[in-house]
Amino acid sequence: MKDEDIICLFFQRNEDAIFQTQKKYGSYCFVVANTILRNQENSEECLNDTWLETWNAIPPQKPNALKLFVAKITRNLALDKYRKQHALKRGRGEIPLILDELQEKANFTFEVARCNSKNKKNMAWMQTLLSIEN
């Protein structure tokens, strides 16, 4: 099927457009994704996202070259996935430790505030008792 016909299917919101695009450019897009991700499962997931993204992009966009259009979407999705996978490594696992420390400090601060609140109530109660006795 020609690219123009596939694009017409997209504009008609015919789901066969996804099937035809996948049939024609699926292996090419897989190579694009797998070159970046180096993982078959992640590359296949990226392809599924590519078809959804293409469905959402056409219309309103009308690509001149469908192959390049889906390849660009695939590349961008694969790069996003690659960045997300490697972002954790930059923190070297210290981020969860820092968050735990912050949680401990927040709990401690809350406990101190609660104790201060109790002390103020006790002081007010004692002052009330003292004023009654006088």
- Both 84 and 98 in one domain: the answer is no
- Both 25 and 1 in one domain: the answer is yes
Range of the domain at 125: 93-134
- Both 45 and 99 in one domain: the answer is no
Please write down the HEC assignment for all residues of 9-41. Answer: HHHCCCCHHHHHHHHHHHHHHHHHHHHHHCCHH
- 53 has a pLDDT exceeding 80: yes
- Both 83 and 97 in one domain: the answer is no
Query: Where does the pLDDT of residue 46 fall: very low under 50, low under 70, confident under 90, or very high at 90 and above?
Result: very high
Overall number of domains in the chain: 2
Q: Dmax of the chain from CA atoms? A: 100
Domain boundary among 90, 106, 122: 90
pLDDT reported for residue 85: 85
Whole-prediction pTM:
0.66
Q: Show the tokens assigned to 87.
A: 């972002």
| CATH number of the domain where residue 51 is located | 1.10.1740.10
- Both 15 and 37 in one domain: the answer is yes
Residues 77, 38: contact at Cβ < 8 Å? no
CA torsion through residues 34, 36, 42, 46, sign = negative
